[in-house]
């Protein structure tokens, strides 16, 4: 199963803080039942197929419009490994183990 990293950058809000909007985007992901992990710069989502990304972004876009956002920039990265299943926590554990 692929991992998708989604960064939501709402533009044209009245504040430099975007946590309110990021929380709404994460709520969309949570409401759809996806496994996810919020990081300081983006949210990582475990998806079944990369075709799901478009529908997730569309739902987030609709929620941002409801919140009055006039423009959104999405940054999306996908890690799709074919030899074994990806796991968010195990990827981090592997790096930390090598750090000692």
**N- to C-terminal Cα distance for the chain?**
28
CA distance 2 to 15: 34
Q: Could you tell me the pLDDT band of residue 85, with boundaries at 50, 70 and 90?
A: confident
**Dihedral of alpha carbons 28, 30, 33, 38, sign:** positive
* Domains of the chain, first to last: 3-99 (3.30.70.930)
Q: Could you tell me the pLDDT band of residue 1, with boundaries at 50, 70 and 90?
A: confident
**Prediction pTM value:** 0.89
Other C-beta atoms within 10 Å of 44: how many?
19
Q: Could you tell me the pLDDT band of residue 98, with boundaries at 50, 70 and 90?
A: very high
State the helix-helix crossing angle for 52-66 and 19-31, rounded to 10 degrees. Answer: 130
Nearest by Cα to 7 from 68, 53, 66, 67? 53
The mean per-residue pLDDT over the stretch 14-38 comes to 94
């Amino acid at each position: 199963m692929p991992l998708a990293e989604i960064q939501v950058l709402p533009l044209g809000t009245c504040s430099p803080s975007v946590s309110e909007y990021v929380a709404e985007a994460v709520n969309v992901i949570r409401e759809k039942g996806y496994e996810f992990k919020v990081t300081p710069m983006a949210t990582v989502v475990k998806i079944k197929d990369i075709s799901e990304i478009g529908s997730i972004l569309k739902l987030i876009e609709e929620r941002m419009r409801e919140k009055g956002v006039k423009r959104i920039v999405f940054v999306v990265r996908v890690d799709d490994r074919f030899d074994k299943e990806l796991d968010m926590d195990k990827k981090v554990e592997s790096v930390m183990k090598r750090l000692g």
